[in-house]
Structure 1
Amino acid sequence: MDIKGKRNQIPVISIVGGKSNSGKTTLLEKLIREAKQRGWRVATLKHDVHGFEMDQPGKDTWRHDQAGADVVAISSPQRIAVLERVSEDQPLDEVLSRIHGVDVIFTEGYKHADKPKIEVFRSAVHQELFSKRDELIAIASDIQFDNGIPCFNLDDAKGLCDLIQTVFNIKKNA
């Protein structure tokens, strides 16, 4: 994985864990808050293999979708959402190509993708690291690892963002 060669692109860091309930979302919430305090614009991308519904039955956009629209968008002064119907799971890079104007993208649920990873490891849930060594930029854990990969406490979002800032050359208060 060529992390250094991707400086002109938006950095993509996958938050992964070997099992569900490992603490990925909790860590991601902390990383987002810390990144926002640094002035970074942050995007997140969650992969859900089970499918999802964002719309509420009976609402106008839900009715548009039910009527067969391939793309349904809603816009307000505060947010824009675009829901697009697809025939199959899209490759990560295809989905990422639609995200612009941010300093960093965090993904959750793409543990097999070829993106730099922070693995969440809790000793009560896991027995060994899931990721390949060359994929990891860091480990967030309740125990220490002595394997040459930077290891941070599960609550150390500041330390993890310091590492991300250094590795991907993200300017503070961008």
Structure 2
Amino acid sequence: MKEAPVVAVVGRSDAGKTTFLEKLLKELKLRKIKVGTIKHDVHGFDIDKPGKDTWRHAQAGADTVVISSPSKVAIIKKVPEELSLDQVVAMVTDMDILLTEGYKRSNKPKIEINRTEHSSELVCAPDELIALVTDAEWDIGVPLFGLDDAVGVADLLVEKYNLPK
């Protein structure tokens, strides 16, 4: 099976990464493309609610807790240190493309979201970028897209990664 391309959507805090990703995901799904997402959270997170069965399993000592239903599955695994993006990617299968939110220091190609209201500088060097989504004029040698141009970015991804049309 062909490994799915991984593209990191990056930008400063509050630049609009999640908002743009939502638009891009909807556009890719309209095209029947199987998309996985990986969110990087440097602060840690907890999806287990205290008192729920899975939380109780973890509190009792389980190193990995899996919850499964007819429509979804979640795995909560304790790790001794943060996994690399490649290690997380290896856990996600059967996708046409994987989009990350964050991982701006990864070695993956990136789409940077930049709003002048938040910063006049980019977080990535131009050679790391496959696109820049912005409300400003930049001349850095990469394709520029408006903050609402999910169609244009989807077109770029389909072409660049030979995704299903």
Q: Calculate the TM-score normalised by the size of structure 2.
A: 0.97
In structure 2, what is the equivalent of residue 97 of structure 1?
90
1:10 equivalent to 2:8? Answer no
In structure 2, what is the equivalent of residue 138 of structure 1?
131
Aligned pairs, number: 164
In structure 1, what is the equivalent of residue 75 of structure 2?
82
Name structure 1 gaps, 5 residues minimum: 1-7
Where do residues 23-172 of structure 1 align in structure 2 (5 Å cutoff)? 23-172=16-165
Name structure 2 gaps, 5 residues minimum: none
Contact kept, 8 Å, 2:134 with 2:147, in 1: the verdict is yes
List 4+ stretches of structure 1 deviating above 6 A.
none
Paired residue secondary structure (1:13):
strand
Contact kept, 8 Å, 2:114 with 2:134, in 1: the verdict is yes
The superposition leaves residues 62-117 of structure 1 with CA deviations (integer Å, 9 ceiling, x where unpaired) of: 10011110000011000011110001111110111111011110001100000010
Amino acid at match of 1:29: E
Paired residue secondary structure (1:94):
helix
Q: Name the Cα RMSD after superposition.
A: 0.8
Q: Calculate the TM-score normalised by the size of structure 1.
A: 0.92
Identity %: 51
